[in-house]
């Protein structure tokens, strides 16, 4: 018997492959699904079943692609008009060698959400684990705002799913959720990726409400970001996303070719570090550091246009293409060969973004100098600790609020460490703001005693 977890960086998406004997099953597969095929081959098994605990909204499912390759049958919950796969009913049983999988309907995060209870047939009738999708996480529970007109119904259903179906499985049961810390699908998911139902029952903050009504009211008051690409993910995950060939090599562009492609509408995405982008960047390019791509590309990049990458290393090209494909960007056409150095030695125009030391921010504030300190972290982060006179606009909301940002004096973008701030700086530059700066280090640097911080 085996059970392996597959983590998708950036999205903090967790999927699983488990099996015994001749057969295996995959739960919530990601779009680049070769990892499950390789694991099944290494374990000497055939993938027999593919389960989707819910229709994902933050990434594309790999179920249809994996089924095309392996011939496995796909199952998901009832309640949505999926155009592929089969509906699983409450209580349905699936045999995978010496393992048994049982379906539980656990609505709340979405109405068709299911959980999958794991049994070892050789160990008796007690369950040993449960795959909870976005219903129950380590340290948190799923968001219930995906149907805004039915938030109260969703929150109540989530409470019932957790307290009447999942927790009664037993304190000993291992928890296998679909997301880990950093996911946009939860607000307080713990960094620890292992737990039991008993530990969560006693320690998960979201489960400590004394009543169903208190739980519902807490969920209604939550504030979660909803990137614009969510709607596309929902639509594609109902219909089945198109097949994508990850083995096809991306084209290296010479500087002149890259320049011409940009003029013809290609979006240039610079995935280098904030320090590298600030030092020299191609005007019109969007800065999204590599590790930020899964979380923020969906806020700012159009799906309808070609994308060209600006990288420090060829090793980053494959990772970036995979990150983008997981959220539906299939038009990544190439990358700037030899990086920005090629652009520079060709005599092509580039610009810089001044990097501002945190101590300089403190000096400006104390001297009441005229500048805009634009804090683009989440509202929760901002409320916990921020600098005096900081203006808060969440990074994802900047395009819709450009008209509210003063162009008088420099604008200094500010976040947790500078990685998100450089994204904001590139957006402002592309919108025509002239004096734009990036505070490298941001609140982390300020917290070292460099700046006076306002805390909640």
**pLDDT band (50, 70, 90) for residue 10:** confident
Per-domain residue ranges for the chain? 2-239, 251-345, 358-455
Q: Say which DSSP state 263 is in.
A: H
Of 409, 375, 412, 380, nearest in space to 395 by CA? 375
pLDDT in tens, 99-110: 999 999 999 999
CA-CA distance, 361 to 413, in Å (whole number)?
A: 11
Q: What are phi and psi of 285, to 5 degrees?
A: -80, 155
Looking at per-residue pLDDT, the higher value among 33 and 245 belongs to 33
Q: What is the pLDDT of residue 148?
A: 84
Q: What is the pLDDT of residue 190?
A: 86
Q: What is the pLDDT of residue 456?
A: 67
Fold classification of 358-455 is Oxidized Rhodanese; domain 1 (3.40.250)
Stretch among 9-13, 169-173, 319-323 having the lowest mean pLDDT = 9-13
Total residue length of the chain:
456
Looking at per-residue pLDDT, the higher value among 99 and 409 belongs to 99
50 within 8 A of 64, measured Cβ to Cβ: no
Q: What are phi and psi of 254, to 5 degrees?
A: -65, 165
Contacts of residue 384, defined as CB under 8 A and 6 or more positions apart, other chains included, come to 455, 456
Structure pTM? 0.89
**CATH class of the domain at 251-345:** alpha beta
Q: What is the pLDDT of residue 121?
A: 93
Which of left, alpha, beta for 339 (phi over 0: left; psi -120 to 50: alpha)?
left
Longest CA span, the chain: 73
Stretch among 157-161, 242-246, 253-257 having the lowest mean pLDDT = 242-246
Distances (CA, A) of 315 to 274, 290, 419: 18, 11, 20
pLDDT in tens, 164-216: 999 999 999 999 999 988 777 777 888 888 999 999 999 999 999 779 999 99
Map tokens 């998901």 to a residue. 76
Number of neighbours of residue 121 by Cβ within 10 angstroms: 13
Q: What is the pLDDT of residue 209?
A: 77
Of 367, 212, 230, 371, nearest in space to 295 by CA? 230
pLDDT in tens, 114-145: 999 999 999 889 999 999 999 999 999 999 98
Q: 17: part of which helix (H) or strand (E)?
A: strand 13-20
**pLDDT band (50, 70, 90) for residue 248:** low
Q: Do domains 251-345 and 358-455 have the same CATH topology?
A: yes
pLDDT above 60 for 247: no
Pairing of strands 2-8, 13-20: antiparallel
pLDDT in tens, 42-77: 999 999 999 999 999 888 999 999 999 999 999 999
- Bridge partner residues of 16 (DSSP): 5, 27
Q: What is the pLDDT of residue 154?
A: 93
Computed over every residue of the chain, the mean pLDDT equals 92
Q: What is the pLDDT of residue 409?
A: 84
CA-CA distance, 433 to 92, in Å (whole number)?
A: 58
For the chain, first and last CA: distance in Å? 49
Which of left, alpha, beta for 2 (phi over 0: left; psi -120 to 50: alpha)?
beta
pLDDT above 70 for 447: yes
pLDDT in tens, 267-279: 999 999 999 999 9
CA-CA distance, 258 to 89, in Å (whole number)?
A: 52
**pLDDT band (50, 70, 90) for residue 408:** confident
292 within 8 A of 309, measured Cβ to Cβ: no
Fold classification of 2-239 is Metallo-beta-lactamase; Chain A (3.60.15)
CA-CA distance, 26 to 47, in Å (whole number)?
A: 7
70 within 8 A of 35, measured Cβ to Cβ: no
């Amino acid at each position: 018997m085996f059970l392996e977890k597959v983590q998708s960086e950036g999205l903090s998406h967790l999927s699983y492959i488990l099996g015994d004997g001749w057969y295996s099953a995959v739960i919530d597969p990601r779009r680049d699904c070769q990892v499950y095929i390789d694991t099944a081959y290494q374990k000497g098994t055939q993938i027999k079943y593919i389960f989707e605990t819910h229709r994902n909204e933050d990434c594309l499912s790999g179920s249809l692609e994996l089924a095309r390759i392996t011939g496995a049958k796909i199952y998901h919950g009832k309640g949505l008009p999926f155009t592929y796969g089969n509906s699983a009913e409450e209580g349905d049983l699936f045999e995978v060698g010496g393992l048994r999988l049982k379906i539980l309907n656990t609505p709340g995060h979405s109405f068709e959400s299911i959980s999958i209870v794991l049994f070892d047939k050789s160990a008796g009738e007690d369950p040993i684990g449960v795959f909870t999708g976005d219903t129950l996480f380590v340290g948190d529970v799923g968001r219930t705002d995906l149907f805004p007109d039915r938030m109260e119904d969703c929150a109540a259903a989530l409470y019932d799913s957790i307290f009447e179906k999942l927790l009664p499985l037993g304190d000993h049961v291992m928890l296998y959720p679909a997301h880990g810390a950093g996911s946009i699908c939860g607000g307080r998911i713990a960094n620890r990726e292992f737990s039991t139902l008993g530990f969560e029952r006693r320690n998960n903050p979201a489960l400590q409400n004394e009543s169903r009504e208190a739980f519902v009211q807490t969920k209604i008051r939550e504030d979660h970001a909803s990137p614009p690409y969510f709607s596309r993910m929902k639509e594609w995950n109902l219909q089945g996303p198109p097949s994508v060939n990850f083995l096809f090599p991306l084209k290296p562009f010479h500087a002149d070719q890259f320049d011409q492609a940009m003029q013809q509408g290609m979006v240039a995405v610079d995935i280098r570090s904030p320090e590298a982008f600030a030092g020299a960047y191609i005007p019109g390019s969007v800065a999204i550091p590599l590790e930020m791509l899964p979380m923020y590309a969906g806020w700012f990049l159009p799906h309808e246009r070609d994308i060209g990458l600006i990288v420090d290393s060829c090793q980053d090209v494959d990772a970036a293409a995979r990150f983008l494909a997981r959220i539906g960007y299939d038009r990544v056409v190439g990358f700037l060969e030899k990086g920005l150095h090629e652009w520079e030695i060709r005599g092509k125009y580039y610009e810089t973004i001044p990097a501002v030391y945190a101590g300089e921010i403190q000096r400006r504030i104390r001297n009441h100098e005229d500048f805009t300190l634009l804090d683009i972290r989440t509202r929760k982060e901002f409320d916990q600790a921020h600098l005096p006179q900081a203006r808060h606009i969440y990074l994802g909301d900047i395009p819709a609020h450009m008209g509210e940002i003063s162009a008088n004096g420099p604008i200094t973008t500010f976040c947790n460490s500078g990685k998100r701030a450089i994204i904001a700086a590139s957006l402002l530059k592309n919108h025509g703001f002239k004096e734009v700066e990036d505070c490298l280090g941001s609140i982390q640097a300020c917290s070292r005693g460099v700046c006076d911080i306002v805390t909640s």
